[in-house]
Amino acid sequence: MRRKKTISLILKIVIVFFAFFFLYKQLSSKSSVEQFEIDHILIQLQDNYLLIFVVILMMFLNWFLESLKWRFLISKIESISIFRSFAAVFSGITVSTFTPNRIGEYAGRVFCLEKADRIQGVLITVIGSMSQLLTTIVFGLTGFLLLPNLMQELDSLLSEFIFAYPIMLFVIILLNVILVTLFLNASVFTVLLSKLKILGKFHKYNQVFTFYDSSELLEALLYSVARYIVFTTQFFILLHVFGVNISYIDSIILTTVMLFIISIIPTIAITEIGVRGSVALFLFGLVSSNAVGILSATFIMWIINLLLPALIGTFFIFTLKFFRK
């Protein structure tokens, strides 16, 4: 028993160490941070501290909505309090900082469960992530439809082909409908997986997709949409703080495309800020020449929505239960 406690403590210390190390490397990485003018950022933060405070509050709202979603989904195998769900989500953020595409988030969450099967917990967490990814894809593809209004070269290219835009419109709408329909009927995956000989033996885990009916999956999807709205609004506020003159509608269109592109690029936390900055600069550069403002907004968004939650999560890491009695 004492040996397990010692190993558990060592694991927690290692996780916290790696989290701090990777976040520090990200902040000190010349390739990532050299593009940001820190002095300019600090001045704007001081001049707009009330708006920054609002963005920070929205960060907590964002992760609170995620906590509600995860608590709702995980209740199929274990009832947990909103505080424990909140702790699980923040622990997952901390672990995700040093894993590719944040896959460590799943492990960070399920070790908060006391009795439930942890593999089922991972699969349920995947369902929650699928709802968020689906939201990003649907809004992102819709954003691509509206992008020609902001990108004259693309608009001119499409206008050369009479049926180009109608075809693109049809394909994207059809794809969105198919993706949403598949998600709302996730039980289909259980049938498909059970037919595979290799996975057929793991019926206990395959059946996770049958835990939820369409109305419950729709509820999870609505939580994801609410989070998406919070996030895109945060970014619009930060663009305003750093002097990027852009309408709310144009900001939403470009942000949806940006999030879509970022979601399909494999990254780890140590490279993510550079990727975000490059994508944001390319897209928002279509409507604004304020490169410093665009990059500053991206940088502070990363600080508030990832760095700060990851630091908070280090406290919850020590509540994880790697071993059970």
Q: Is the pLDDT of residue 270 over 60?
A: no
* Domain presence at residue 116: yes
* Domain presence at residue 292: yes
Can you read off the two tokens belonging to residue 149? 């209004």
Can you tell me the distance from the alpha carbon of 256 to that of 251, in angstroms, rounded to the nearest whole number? 9
Stated pTM of the model: 0.87
* Domain presence at residue 27: no
The tally of domains found in the chain comes to: 1
Can you tell me the distance from the alpha carbon of 79 to that of 269, in angstroms, rounded to the nearest whole number? 31
Can you tell me the distance from the alpha carbon of 203 to that of 206, in angstroms, rounded to the nearest whole number? 5
Q: Is the pLDDT of residue 269 over 60?
A: no
Q: What is the pLDDT of residues 287-297, one digit of tens each?
A: 888 888 898 89
Compute the half-sphere exposure of residue 263: CA atoms within 13 Å on the CB side of its CA.
Answer: 18
Under DSSP, is residue 185 helix (H, G, I), strand (E, B) or coil? coil
* Domain presence at residue 306: yes
Q: What is the pLDDT of residues 9-66, one digit of tens each?
A: 888 888 888 888 888 777 766 445 555 566 667 777 788 889 999 999 999 999 999 9
Angle 118-146/248-263 helices, nearest 10 degrees?
Answer: 130
Q: CA-based angle 122:93:61, to the nearest 5?
A: 105
Domain of 65 in residue numbering reads as 2-22+41-317
* Domain presence at residue 286: yes
Q: What is the pLDDT of residues 218-267, one digit of tens each?
A: 999 999 999 999 999 999 999 999 989 999 999 999 999 999 998 887 66
What pLDDT, on the 0 to 100 scale, is given for residue 30? 47
Contact 313, 258 (CB under 8 A): no
What pLDDT, on the 0 to 100 scale, is given for residue 14? 87
Can you tell me the distance from the alpha carbon of 16 to that of 35, in angstroms, rounded to the nearest whole number? 28
Q: What is the pLDDT of residues 91-137, one digit of tens each?
A: 999 988 887 777 778 888 888 888 878 888 888 998 999 999 999 99
Which residues are CB-neighbours of 7 under 8 A, at least 6 positions away? 322, 323
Contact 154, 160 (CB under 8 A): no
* Domain presence at residue 36: no
Helix %, strand %, coil % of the chain (to 5) = 80, 0, 20
Q: What is the pLDDT of residues 137-192, one digit of tens each?
A: 999 999 988 877 666 655 555 566 666 667 878 888 899 899 999 899 887 777 66
Residue 324 pLDDT grade (very low, low, confident, very high; cuts 50, 70, 90): low
* Domain presence at residue 211: yes
What pLDDT, on the 0 to 100 scale, is given for residue 272? 65
Can you tell me the distance from the alpha carbon of 189 to that of 209, in angstroms, rounded to the nearest whole number? 7
First-to-last CA distance in the chain? Answer: 9
Q: What is the dihedral of CA 216, 219, 223, 229, to 10 degrees?
A: 150
* Domain presence at residue 9: yes
